[in-house]
Amino acid sequence: MTNQTLEQRTNEKVVLIVDDQYGRSDDPMIPERYGNGKVSGYIFKLEDAKKGDSYDSAVVIERLKSEKVDGILLDMDFNTQRGYGEKILEAIKENHPKLPVFIFSSTEDKNLITRCLEKGAVGRIPKAPSANDMKKYLDDYFLV
């Protein structure tokens, strides 16, 4: 590994995608769309927040204790639990108040979006953007 490559890797931001659909390790969408350097400057990791047969914000909090993460893309709807992302956001902000969390959802529920922004989400990224659009959204926040 050259020094330049090592320096580039050191400067990459780690983004955790918390989503019941894309958070599964067997779902190829995220690696195909954003993996292998397709979004330069960022490394994406996946978390489905699943504990047994349901979803639990504690799963995300435990993961944040063991891994360095620079930002989170948080889905709002978890299977049949519409709006559950708001609960996860509350838990993240309680334990990691400075960690940037983006709403990563196709929801058009303006009340939910407003509440999440009021609770500390830094913005909204529409679900499944292209690699170029994802880079732009993240760069707009991290490179300011």
Residue, of 123 and 27, whose pLDDT is higher: 123
Give, in order, the Cα–Cα distances in Å from 23 to each of 12, 29, 30, 49, 60.
Answer: 20, 10, 8, 8, 11
Q: In this predicted model, what pLDDT tens digit does every residue of 55-106 receive, in sequence order? A: 888 999 999 999 999 999 999 888 766 778 999 999 999 999 999 999 998 8
Among residues 114, 51, 46, 60, the alpha carbon closest in space to that of 88 is found at 60
> Strand, helix or coil at 89?
helix
Domains of the chain (ranges, CATH numbers) = 3-138 (3.40.50.2300)
- Give residue 10's pLDDT: 61
> Strand, helix or coil at 12?
coil
Is 1 in contact with 11 (CB distance < 8 Å)?
Answer: no
